[in-house]
Chains A and B, each alone.
Chain A
Amino acid sequence: MKLSEAFKRRPLLIAYICAGDPSPESTPEIVELLARAGADVVELGLPHSDPIADGPVIQAAAQRAIEAGMNTNVYFEMASRIRADLPLVFMGYYNMIYQRGLDKFAGDCANSGITGLIVPDLPPEEAGPLREACEKAEVDLIYLVAPNTPAERIPIIAESSSGFLYLVARAGVTGTRSEVLLSTKALIERVKADLPKAVGFGISTPEQAAEVIRAGADAAIVGSACVDLISKGDLEGLENLIRGMKLAIREVKPIEAVARI
């Protein structure tokens, strides 16, 4: 499923997991569990040795996954085995893409059912070559906007992005936080774009997810909270978390079925 298709039924819940944690075999089942529990999109993280945008929870997961045998070949084989009917999005660092070759990587995404790419260490200034490769392979390249992104830069990022815009809820790295900041709400208002807005970094509870949707986001992204539960082997907790979050965001805003013609 394409992202544009999925976003016809907003608000959405997007779940991030680290592919290959605890083992490469377990990931397809976890994705299917997420889909069952109500996730609308799954971000499948490719673990990197030096994840500079990630906090301790995802760092540790990446290390475990690499030790469990995760690599880019395994990643694509695994992605193509996932049977859940929802869009899969790649999330990972640029060097992993660069080493495989940009065209090959984008092509492998398209062939294994991955419909978009999020590359947290690739600002639009450096993304030209990958964007071309993604356009050729017809996969989306999703850019990030941060709370400190200046106003004049936002439209430039928004125009380069496709699929959706990833709004970073707060400065710093991924991880769970106790509250959704006022600055997050301000950011959602500040970003004027035709693309759907998904908010991530620091969202770990149904209340927080509901809050960002209430503030005008089209999707809430939950990452470290999922990874944390997976690391504890608590798949039941994971299913409950996703169910709870989905319920919370749908209470704020019933599905805008086939919104805006």
Chain B
Amino acid sequence: MKITTTSNTRFGRYGGQFVPETLMQPLKELAEAYAHLKEDPQFMRELSGLLADYAGRPTPLYHARSLSRELSRKVYLKREDLVHGGAHKLNNVLGQGLVAKEMGKTRLIAETGAGQHGVAAAMVGANLGLETEVYMGEVDIERQKMNVYRMELLGAKVIPVKSGSRTLKDSINEALRDWAASYENTHYLMGTVAGAHPYPLMVRELQSVIGTEAREQILAAEGRLPDSVVACVGGGSNAMGIFSGFLADETKLIAVEAGGRGTSSDEKIADHGACLNLGEEGVLHGAMTKILQDPYGQILESYSVAAGLDYPGVGPELAHLAEIGRVTPAIADDETALEGFRRLSILEGIIPALESSHAVGYALRNPDALGDLAIINLSGRGDKDLTTVMEQERRRRR
């Protein structure tokens, strides 16, 4: 008997389970538990309850009047920045936290880059009474001291990652290594739609609440579907969350990746995080997807002013949707994002996260790509980024 690739772990050519044998059983147990629980009405009631009362859902779909005027078309913002914790990350974390609890796990581990997912994991760990440890690169710890302190306040332990490039990709490596040894009592709470099956599927489904709400809300407000939905993409969880509500429609789905400092790369470091646009097929963190790599298959470090987009891979489902033409990849560089950051603050009185600013900045510079009616997914708020933006401005003045 020969095992053939089971198609339900894949999105077209992408996805799969490229992991050590030790992780095959934990992934199988997780996939089975999740598949069972999502059909369990009591579990779903508990999740909906927490999403409403703890996270603050549904989030508004806001008609951004000044931005609309500036772009000469109607633009709505999906206000994920208003979710508890300040970003869409909590939607996924609450779901996985409950799954972990149902599976009898007592400990959560998570990776974090900028700290947003780590903070969400720490919140849920505190809320559900699960011990929480967050892997964070030494470089990121230095860049995001405030979020480290927030996680500690919430009772989580932050473990500095000293290997490799000491950033997000290495934190995922460390979390996977930890999980291979600890899965009997530990759930690995992955923050994005990347990694081995079932993570890309599970995280997309847990984030799909964004798209489900947005679709209902735009139909109620406008009586029609939008011409486009714009979202920033790092790993791709906020994008897949909102896109999933419109996949079966005609709506254009625009995935804005980090253009960073430019589109070139040297031997070890790319100047961007644009995997859908500039990456090549390869395996990272357990999935076949589009990645940034050298000709031999070594993974490059990525770069973006937005730490949440600073990742050399992308969710396999996005790679697939881009390949079949359902999702339109786009790029916004640091400059464009910073312009989005400032303009939205001035125009609407909303300070967007630097990640979300990529979607805003793209819209500002490419209004014609949006059609007459657009939704921008405002995946997070920008308070966490003030130091970074101040630093950028200081550098520019020099």
Contacts and interface: CB of A to CB of B under 8 A. Distances in A.
Interface in A66-104: 66, 71-73, 93-100
Contacts of B24: 123, 146, 149, 153
Given A52-B173, A55-B177, A173-B180, A99 B296 contact: yes
Max chain B Cβ within 10 angstroms of own Cβ: one of A52, A59, A100: A52
Interface stretch (B13-21, B39-47, B254-262, B271-279): B13-21
B72 interface: no
A121 B25 contact: no
A195 B294 CA distance: 37
B197 to A, nearest CB: 10
Interface string B275-293: 0000001111110000101
Interface string B1-38: 11111100100000011111110111000000000000
Nearest to B280: A99
A100 B6 CA distance: 25
B368 to A, nearest CB: 38
B21 A149 contact: yes
A156 B3 CA distance: 7
A60 B164 CA distance: 8
Contacts of B5: 125-126, 128
B302 to A, nearest CB: 13
A146 B6 CA distance: 21
B66 interface: no
A237 interface: no
Contacts of B148: none
Contacts of B20: 52-53, 120-121, 123, 144, 146, 168
Max chain B Cβ within 10 angstroms of own Cβ: one of A51, A53, A96, A120: A53
Contacts of A25: none
Contact of A168 (B2, B21, B298): B21
Given A49-B164, A95-B282, A128-B4, A145 B21 contact: yes
Max chain B Cβ within 10 angstroms of own Cβ: one of A59, A93, A171: A171
Contacts of B291: 95
A172 B170 CA distance: 16
B177 A50 contact: no
A73 B5 CA distance: 30
Contacts of A173: 177, 180-181
Contacts of B285: 50, 52
B190 interface: no
A63 interface: yes
Interface string A164-201: 00001011110000000000000000000000000000
B320 interface: no
Contact of B299 (A49, A97, A121): A49
A98 B282 contact: yes
A179 to B, nearest CB: 15
Interface string B73-101: 00000000000000000000000000000
Closest 6 CB pairs of A and B: A172-B181, A99-B297, A96-B297, A146-B22, A49-B298, A95-B297
Given A128-B5, A168-B22, 16 more contacts: A48-B297, A50-B164, A50-B285, A53-B20, A56-B163, A60-B163, A94-B283, A95-B293, A123-B17, A125-B17, A126-B16, A126-B18, A146-B24, A146-B25, A149-B24, A168-B21
13 contacts: A51-B173, A52-B286, A93-B297, A95-B284, A120-B20, A120-B21, A146-B24, A153-B24, A159-B1, A171-B181, A172-B177, A172-B180, A172-B181
